[in-house]
Structure 1
């Protein structure tokens, strides 16, 4: 290989995100690396990636979490009949880990059955030494959405119908992407980084929204900002403080008996979005607790939430 050929090969490697092939955790689904090489700012990162199964026995539903994410990925759930809508999905985990089955793969399969192409994301955790600190998850989310939009044709996706959905702390990741999509948190790497990271729609399910100590999920707040964050940091990562008129339409889903992430997280964000004149719909259920996803919603009124989301997307012209 000539020096010029080697240079071209190196440029191609840097510019093209690696396909990791089939997901080892979701057989039959593609696994894509969000970053073309190592994730940025990892020189002093302490993360050691590990997948842990929390199910107690073979009769239990799978309940895998990813700790110490070092290589953020997207697991692609392609529908049999794609309708052009894509959703980047951010599972929760209190910024301590990423919950893959309960708040990832199960809901991805449900949405894919309705024609949505879903990209389940693992994202880096801010307390593990990444140079960007609390912006590390936002780096991953911005890059992921840009990548989906840039490669939309490969996935039979409309680049103008690329949204985000997040659960719990993943709702904070999704909310930051929704309201800080243009925050300059990493240096552009390639052509994918020239497209917008603004989602076309945002769905936040029992989201961690505020960093105000009165209503914050304390574990997420501590893992994101540390033990005693300054007031300007609290404001910079509180979604209600970031509401802006050019945000995409937002849907909020929350149970009023949520003892982990108080419903005031969604109520405060709802008020802020309305004040900013952002199109918003909200559904609050009397019971459902926290982390209901699909499996813990069965038999309860909160089980209606996926159908409510799909109906809202249809009314907005985002879903056929």
Structure 2
């Protein structure tokens, strides 16, 4: 990453509502994940909606609920470097935020030349036949589509990363660690691998086990009284990570929603499995800080740290 890229990234990462009057426009390019209806929707009766929480015209703060037609929103950089990134926002598996951990983060990585795909995924409590694996079906399909389309998009199919935040970090972790395809192939794109080439996990919901579990995410994913087998199956630190690609962890020690032990336990599991891993723990930042909420604070450097780490692992090159 050269000096010009670093300066542009720093400017994007520190942007605050004071510095702009109107929120940047939404990208117009979207990709439907499924050629027809999403799998297993015979008993689904919800109606999709997106709610805006921001009252400030300088930024959006939307969340999507009851998604039935999952999509990728594409942000293409002015000067692409061949790397791509699947972004999976959080929301406790109750909804998926659109901006804070999606579009806002994507704009920062796009400024460094990375082509970004923001995932709007289905939620486990909406009646899908796959239940807890419905979000993972969407994540696997999304990664396969990005890889299958890479040559036509001018992207390197061997430089596709995933970035997941909070519950999206759990989903990104499952996408990275699990080897089982969660749906039957629907077209030629499903011949592609769904394994990312590296993973960036922001304050991830990693464990489903007490005492460090984020109870809301576990309830939405596994129900009120999950079995010990389900807890083990969906806890990232209990998965087999042997031979998997590099992982980058970011967490605030003062996170009151998803305890930092989620990342610490996962880091121990990654080290035991021999996975190249790097972790950055910040004294303060709370939960869900993403980009906008930490402008001017120490944790605001995490995108630069992630890009430098990605460069060391061959994900990005100088723009």
**1:81 & 1:66 partners in 2: Cα distance?**
30
Corresponding residue for residue 239 of structure 1: 236
**1:28 & 1:252 partners in 2: Cα distance?**
28
Q: Secondary structure at the match of 2:126?
A: coil
Structure 1 residue 240: deviation in Å?
0.4
Contact 2:199 2:247 in 1 (8 A): yes
**1:255 & 1:140 partners in 2: Cα distance?**
28
Structure 1 residue 156: deviation in Å?
1.5
* Deviation per residue, 1:207-256 (Å, 9 max, x gap): 00100021111110000000010001001100001132121100000000
1:283 to 266, 269, 280: 280
Q: Secondary structure at the match of 1:127?
A: helix
Contact 1:243 1:273 in 2 (8 A): no
**1:66 & 1:225 partners in 2: Cα distance?**
20
Corresponding residue for residue 13 of structure 2: none
Q: Secondary structure at the match of 1:105?
A: helix
TM-score by length of 2: 0.90
**1:237 & 1:265 partners in 2: Cα distance?**
13
Structure 1 residue 183: deviation in Å?
1.2
Corresponding residue for residue 11 of structure 1: none
1:153 to 151, 154, 159: 151
Asked if 1:166 corresponds to 2:159, the answer is no
Asked if 1:302 corresponds to 2:299, the answer is yes
**2:127 & 2:246 partners in 1: Cα distance?**
34
Structure 1 residue 163: deviation in Å?
1.3
Asked if 1:266 corresponds to 2:259, the answer is no
Corresponding pairs, count? 294
Structure 1 residue 155: deviation in Å?
2.0
Asked if 1:46 corresponds to 2:45, the answer is yes
Corresponding residue for residue 215 of structure 1: 212
Q: Secondary structure at the match of 1:312?
A: helix
Contact 2:121 2:139 in 1 (8 A): yes
Q: Secondary structure at the match of 2:50?
A: strand
Structure 1 residue 120: deviation in Å?
0.1
Corresponding residue for residue 245 of structure 2: 248
Q: Secondary structure at the match of 2:140?
A: helix
**1:44 & 1:276 partners in 2: Cα distance?**
40
Corresponding residue for residue 84 of structure 2: 86
Contact 2:165 2:203 in 1 (8 A): yes
Moved over 4 A (4+): none
**2:132 & 2:306 partners in 1: Cα distance?**
29
**1:258 & 1:49 partners in 2: Cα distance?**
30
**2:315 & 2:210 partners in 1: Cα distance?**
36
Corresponding residue for residue 35 of structure 1: 34
Contact 2:233 2:239 in 1 (8 A): yes
**2:283 & 2:26 partners in 1: Cα distance?**
37
CA RMSD, Structure 1 to Structure 2 (Å): 1.2
2:197 to 197, 200, 203: 200
**2:240 & 2:108 partners in 1: Cα distance?**
30
Q: Structure 2: 5+ residue runs without aligned partners?
A: 1-23
**2:26 & 2:183 partners in 1: Cα distance?**
32
Corresponding residue for residue 19 of structure 1: none
Structure 1 residue 299: deviation in Å?
1.7
**1:36 & 1:107 partners in 2: Cα distance?**
28
TM-score by length of 1: 0.90
